[in-house]
Structure 1
Amino acid sequence: MSSTNATPTRPKRIFPKTTGTTALWRHRNVLRVLVQRDLAVKYQSSALGYLWSLIEPMGMAGIYWFIFGVLYAKENALPDGVSYSLYIVSGMFAWMWASSAMSESTTCLTSQSTLIRTMRVPREVFPVARVFARFAEFLAGLPILIAFAIFGGGTFSWNLLVLPAAILVQAMLLTGLAFVLATINVLFRDVQRFMRLVMRVLFYAAPTIYPFAMVLEAEKVPHWVKVLYQANPFVGIIEMHHYAWIPGLGTLSWQLVVSSVATSVVVLFLGRWLFYRLEPTVLKEL
């Protein structure tokens, strides 16, 4: 009687549709520790400490305010009584969160390879921690935003409810991008160098330092470029941040918001799927 030798097969990895969020919640203490460690390490040798998270965006805002607000007087494109300084600061703080989160999440796996191989936690916590750490810096700048709104013609009404929505959409988009960037940078180390150019392009491809209406009203810009420009999810997100303080802009449309929300959800899902799919290969490379 012959016996058949069964060849052991590796069980197929099934993408978990819900356990990603619940796993992060179960390990929220680890996530909190990683965020605190990231902030402590970043500013441990600095005399000013966390103030640098405010000085950098304020310094950049001051430079662009002088160029576009003084030399080129772009206040004319804003509602009466609203200073260009409020517009640029509200956009700059949102952009600095995005820029820092994307840049630092790119290297979050390669720079912590030993910790990743030894800790028994979902690897998603490492890119997510970078997004949350930069969000903590954004929160630290809210008092400055409020001060600029008070003295710069901002509005404190129902429009402020747009701010939590903008933060949520931006967090989803940045988390999805963090998954993608962290993964592909392990496999292709040139990504972190290429990101310098990408970040520069994205900065000028969103209405951070110039009014969104200028793009819509520009006669020399082809219609298809305007459509492609508005498809950039950062355009809708930055405009939501502006609208939270300056509702009189009149450039925030439901189509722009829906486009940013839909893109952010898709990027979040695809980013997490890619992270899970390539996790075995990434761990081998680390």
Structure 2
Amino acid sequence: MAKLDIHQHVTDTIIAQIEAGTPPWRTPWTGGEGGAAFPLRHNGEAYRGINILMLWATAHERGYNSAHWMTFKQAMELGGMVKKGEKCARSVFYGTFEKAADQTEGKSEDDGKTRIPYAKTNNVFNADQIENLPAEFYITPEQPRDLGTEANAELDAFFTDTGADIISSDEARAYYRPATDKIHMPPIRTFHSVTGYYSTLSHELCHWTGASNRLDRIKKFQNREAYAFEELVAEIGNCLLCLHLGVTPQFDQSAAYIESWLKALKDDKGLIFKAASEAQRAVDFILAATDATEHGEAA
């Protein structure tokens, strides 16, 4: 079996998070996962160094809420059992072993022995992958809260006029699903502000324009680069559409998106111009769709 290059493994894990478009800022609605927690060992001791990055990124990617990580054996000692089919993550353990000074070329200690550092990996599982652990090892996801945020009738009419199929449920996720050609939104009452709701909806609506029967842009996210580019287009389009509607776009969130995508795509300086052009096409398509609806109603 090939030896694991732990530094390459960590680098690949972090890059995958950037390319997947999952930067860790707070969502503008309540409910769902609270985000990956600071990694802790089974005994509550905090991880250090590269293990923090590696385990945090893995938890963020897989949607784990618990802070605790442990080996298969440690889970059993705590009365738990790893669920069937679960995949492990890797943590790094640093230590030293001793050799007699005459067996090595290294510097010997006062006792005549040389201490040689080494690193090895442990296969660990998050508590969310393990059954029957004590309750303190689990974190219950935040439940959606009714914040009383109310819809804007004029904006609702605009989004309806686009012809997009927009559905809502208690699922605390916002997304466009190409397979069903539907946009899903959490209930507006769970959002911290009306601005956050319509800005999020604008982002998903821009994705909607990329379907094969519209601007034919998405191409089913054939690779990470294509996915990252599509996210960049949608977020720039979100800003353009919000400005058109008189809604303040989430510029702090948009800047974070753009920075991540540019890094993910290896700082392609021409990318921002290509994405802005596609974003403008998406917004033009949306505005044309609503204009056609208005003219149809008038006729």
TM-score of the alignment, normalized to the shorter chain, above 0.5: no
Bigger Cα Rg: 2
TM range (shorter): under 0.3
Compare relative contact order (CA 8 Å, sep 6+) and give the higher one, 1 or 2. 1
TM-score, normalization: structure 1? 0.25
TM-score, normalization: structure 2? 0.24
Which of the two has greater strand per residue? Answer: 2
